[in-house]
């Protein structure tokens, strides 16, 4: 663990930072060069994140001391199974979105490549950091670039959606700041591991203040994770974004869920004494409300992008509810579901753009309005560069079926494995085979999981028939191979997830168990030894 391998932990932050800054130097005439640099950086990040995942799986959490200050004084980066997994997920989705964007979308506005890299930096930083205020900074890096990316392509609809998105997120940032500073005021620390040690020792009269602080802080994450009733912004923002941006945004809403998953067992686990289990009932009820709202929305939607946005709500709600149960087995299944559903929804956002291109040839690069899809538009079209390939409708249809199977949760794809893992954990607590009796909350969650699959089945088959079978003389969509390839690869990955289900689920179970027994995390943070001073080394 010495030499270069130790510094690999900071690479997911440093690499996009350098690449983003480099990309900002070149102007928009050097699109090819910018694309190459961006692609190289993203692929390297993918390679590094695989290495980090192996490292996290093999050993105890790796701690990187920024500025070489020991733990509670300085800021630490912590790489454990959960953060390594999320970084890999981000990198995979980023590669797919970037390859898709390079076909045409990256030229639709300025500085796409820089913003893309800065977004990756913010997301990776949020996954790695072990300090609450540092988390705020990375959140802001991520949000600032997401504002820019949402505006990519411009047009009245995107500007309008961005206006609301920015206001909501700025207001959420204020909650974040108030919560963080109040936590500092009560406990005197911002280091997550240190907080976990100090909370049980907190006098009773300060506990109320701490719980208020954590509640305020959680609002910021719940807005990001789009819990009902804090998630209405998502429905106008995500469908307005250009396809590759919407695909990478699918992982953005998981950042909020990640932080809750990290903090809830760490700060309010069984070791927290009086404060143990704080807020889990809110997550439980709120998560279920989110699933319910998502189901209704899926059933009511006509436009495909809205169906995808509502599916994202269902997916967030499912993960939040699972966190609310604070059961390691269920969390293991939920982590599998998180990975599977994020890949699915990312692929779906990319696919939708390709399908709608076929339905509505007049929709050009600048403005696609999903609302006008049902209208007939037969002027214009057919001058955009590059030849498509003739089998496009069949391939698009096959990919759509794949996405549908994943969202519904039918075998043989990973959506089925994910739902099965969660249902098994709910029905047989701790592997007892259901002899202990199943609490009503579990029944409600089971019902919602099954209903969400049913809603997806109804809506997606309806939309699929209308799109692929009903049109008599439909235009063949001009789809490039590089555009369909990322969708295909993402779907292929879900197949791999399903085939390798046992090994992946084992990893998720280990992750969940480590989350609910945070002593190894805390020890790793405090035992991290400083690097020797320059000159006195080896």
Partner 1 sequence: MPFLIATSIGILAGSGVWLLLRPRTYQVIIGLSLCSYAVNLFIFSMGRLRSGAAPILSSEAGSLADYADPVPQALVLTAIVIGFATTALFLVVLLASRGLSGTDHVDGQEP
Does 180 contact partner 1 by CB under 8 A?
yes
By CB under 8 A, residue 198 contacts partner 1: no
CB of 144 to partner 1, least distance (A): 6
Render 222-281 in DSSP notation, one character per residue: HHHHT-TTS-HHHHHHHHHS-HHHHHHHHHHHHHHHHHHHHHHHHHHSGGGGGGTTTTHH
φ/ψ (deg, to 5) at 437: 95, 140
Q: Which of the ranges 38-46, 166-174, 196-204, 345-353 carries the binding residues for partner 1, by CB under 8 A?
A: 166-174
Tell whether residue 289 is a contact of partner 1 (CB under 8 A): no
Q: DSSP 3-state assignment of 130?
A: coil
80-88, 153-161, 410-418, 447-455 -> range binding partner 1 (CB under 8 A)? 153-161
Candidates 43-51, 174-182, 193-201, 388-396 — which segment interacts with partner 1 by CB under 8 A? 174-182
178 binds partner 1 (CB under 8 A): yes
> Between 109 and 138, how does the x/- string for binding to partner 1 read (CB under 8 A)?
------------------------x---x-
Nearest to partner 1 of 178, 446 (CB atom): 178
| By the rule CB under 8 A, 468 interacts with partner 1 | no
DSSP symbols for 290-359:
HHHHHHHHHHH--SHHHHHHHHHHHHHHHHHHHHHHT-HHHHHHHHHHHHHHHHHHHHHHHHHHHHHHHH
Name beta bridge partners: 65: 76
Q: How many CB atoms within 10 Å of residue 371?
A: 12
* Residue whose CB is less far from partner 1, 72 or 231: 72
The answer to the question of residue 140 lying near partner 1 (CB under 8 A) is yes
Asked if 177 is part of the footprint of partner 1 (rule: CB under 8 A), the reply reads: yes
167 binds partner 1 (CB under 8 A): yes
Stretch in the footprint of partner 1 (CB under 8 A) among 157-165, 329-337, 351-359, 404-412: 157-165
Residue 366 engages partner 1 in binding (rule: CB under 8 A): no
* Closest C-alpha to 464, from 415, 414, 396, 409: 396
Phi, psi of 21 (to 5 degrees): -65, -40
Using the contact rule CB under 8 A, the part of the chain among 170-178, 289-297, 364-372, 502-510 near partner 1 is 170-178
- Token couple for 236: 């106008």
Contact 356, 297 (CB under 8 A): no
Tokens coding 332:
């293991």
Of 243, 223, 245, 249, the C-alpha closest to 312 is 249
Cα distance between residue 407 and residue 414, in whole Å: 10
| HSE, side-chain direction, 13 A CA sphere, residue 525 | 26
Q: Does 95 bind partner 1 (CB under 8 A)?
A: no
* Cα(332)–Cα(470) distance, integer angstroms: 41
Q: Give whichever of 150 and 225 is closer to partner 1, judged by the CB atom.
A: 150
CB of 481 to partner 1, least distance (A): 35
CB of 68 to partner 1, least distance (A): 18
Of these, 42, 162, 321, 341, which contacts partner 1 (CB under 8 A)? 162
**β-bridge mates for residue 79, sequence order:** 62
Q: Which residue in the set 151, 257, 449, 508 belongs to the binding site for partner 1 (CB under 8 A)? A: 151
Check residue 230 for interaction with partner 1 (CB under 8 A): no
Residue reference for tokens 């191979």: 481
Count of residues touching partner 1 (by CB under 8 A): 30
Contact between 66 and partner 1 by CB under 8 A: the answer reads no
Cis peptide bond upstream of 412, omega within 30? yes
- Closer residue to partner 1 in complex, CB, 148/269: 148
Looking up tokens 């130790």 gives: 6
3-class state of residue 498 by DSSP: helix
Q: Are 227 and 298 in contact (CB under 8 A)?
A: no
**Residue 181 touches partner 1, criterion: CB under 8 A:** yes
**DSSP assigned state of 536:** S
Q: Which of 170, 496, 499, 531 is in the footprint of partner 1 by CB under 8 A?
A: 170
**Looking only at residues 484 through 523 of this chain, which bind partner 1 when binding is defined by CB under 8 A?**
none
Rounded to a whole number of angstroms, the minimum distance from the CB of residue 499 to partner 1 is 44
Tell me: does residue 174 bind partner 1 (CB under 8 A).
yes
- Provide, rounded to whole angstroms, the least separation between the CB of residue 107 and partner 1: 19
3-state secondary structure string, 16-51?
HHHHHHHHHHCCHHHHHHHHHHHHHHHHHHHHHHHH
In the complex with partner 1, the residue whose CB is nearer, 160 or 270, is 160
Terminal Cα-to-Cα distance of the chain (whole angstroms)? 13
Count the Cβ atoms, other than its own, within 10 Å of residue 529.
Answer: 8
206 makes contact with partner 1 (CB under 8 A): no
Task: By CB under 8 A, name the binding residues for partner 1.
Answer: 133, 137, 140, 143-144, 147-148, 151, 154-156, 159-160, 162-164, 166-167, 170-171, 173-174, 177-178, 180-182, 184-185, 190
């Amino acid at each position: 663990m010495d030499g270069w391998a130790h510094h690999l932990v900071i690479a997911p932050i440093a690499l996009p930072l350098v690449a983003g800054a480099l990309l900002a130097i070149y102007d928009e005439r050097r699109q090819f060069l910018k694309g190459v640099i961006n692609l190289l950086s993203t692929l390297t990040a993918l390679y590094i994140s695989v290495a980090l995942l192996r490292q996290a799986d093999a050993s105890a959490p790796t701690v990187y001391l920024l500025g070489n200050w020991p733990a509670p004084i300085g800021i630490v980066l912590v790489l454990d199974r959960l953060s390594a997994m999320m970084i890999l997920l981000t990198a995979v989705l980023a590669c797919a979105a970037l390859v898709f964007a390079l076909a045409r979308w990256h030229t639709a506005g300025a500085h796409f490549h820089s913003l893309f890299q800065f977004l990756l930096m913010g997301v990776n930083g949020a996954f790695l950091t072990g300090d609450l205020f540092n988390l705020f900074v990375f959140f802001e890096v991520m949000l600032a670039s997401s504002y820019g990316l949402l505006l990519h392509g411009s047009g009245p609809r995107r500007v309008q959606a961005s206006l609301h998105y920015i206001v909501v997120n700025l207001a959420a940032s204020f909650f974040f700041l108030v919560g963080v500073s109040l936590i500092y005021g009560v406990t005197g620390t911002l280091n997550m591991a240190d907080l976990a040690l100090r909370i049980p020792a907190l006098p009773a009269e300060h506990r109320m203040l701490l719980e208020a602080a954590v509640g305020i802080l959680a609002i910021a994450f719940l807005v990001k994770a789009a819990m009902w009733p804090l998630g209405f912004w998502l429905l106008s923002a995500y469908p307005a974004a250009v396809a590759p941006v919407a695909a990478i945004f699918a992982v953005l809403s998981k950042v909020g869920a990640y932080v809750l998953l990290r903090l809830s067992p760490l700060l309010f686990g069984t070791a927290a004494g009086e404060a143990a289990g704080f807020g889990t009932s809110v997550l439980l009820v709120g998560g279920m409300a989110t699933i319910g709202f998502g189901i209704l929305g899926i059933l009511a939607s006509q436009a495909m992008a809205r169906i995808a946005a509502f599916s994202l709500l269902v997916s967030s709600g499912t993960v939040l509810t699972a966190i609310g149960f604070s059961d390691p087995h269920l969390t293991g299944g939920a982590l599998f579901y998180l990975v599977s559903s994020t890949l699915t929804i990312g692929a779906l956002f990319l696919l939708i753009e390709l399908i709608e291109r076929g339905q509505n040839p007049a929709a050009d690069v600048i403005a696609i309005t999903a609302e006008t899809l049902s209208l007939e538009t037969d002027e214009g079209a057919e001058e955009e560069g590059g030849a498509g390939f003739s089998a496009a409708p069949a391939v698009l249809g096959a990919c759509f079926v794949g996405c549908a199977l994943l969202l519904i949760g039918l075998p043989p794809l990973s959506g089925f494995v994910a739902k099965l893992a969660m249902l098994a954990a709910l029905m047989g607590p701790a592997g007892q085979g259901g002899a202990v009796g199943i609490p009503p909350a579990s029944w409600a969650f089971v019902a919602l999981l099954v209903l969400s699959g049913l809603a997806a089945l109804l809506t997606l088959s309806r939309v699929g028939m209308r799109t692929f079978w009903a049109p008599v003389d439909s235009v063949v969509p001009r789809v490039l191979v590089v555009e369909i390839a990322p969708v295909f690869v993402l779907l292929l990955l879900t197949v791999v997830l399903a085939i390798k289900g046992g090994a992946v689920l084992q990893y998720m179970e280990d992750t969940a168990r480590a989350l609910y027994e945070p002593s190894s995390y805390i020890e790793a943070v405090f035992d991290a030894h400083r690097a020797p001073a320059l000159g006195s080394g080896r």
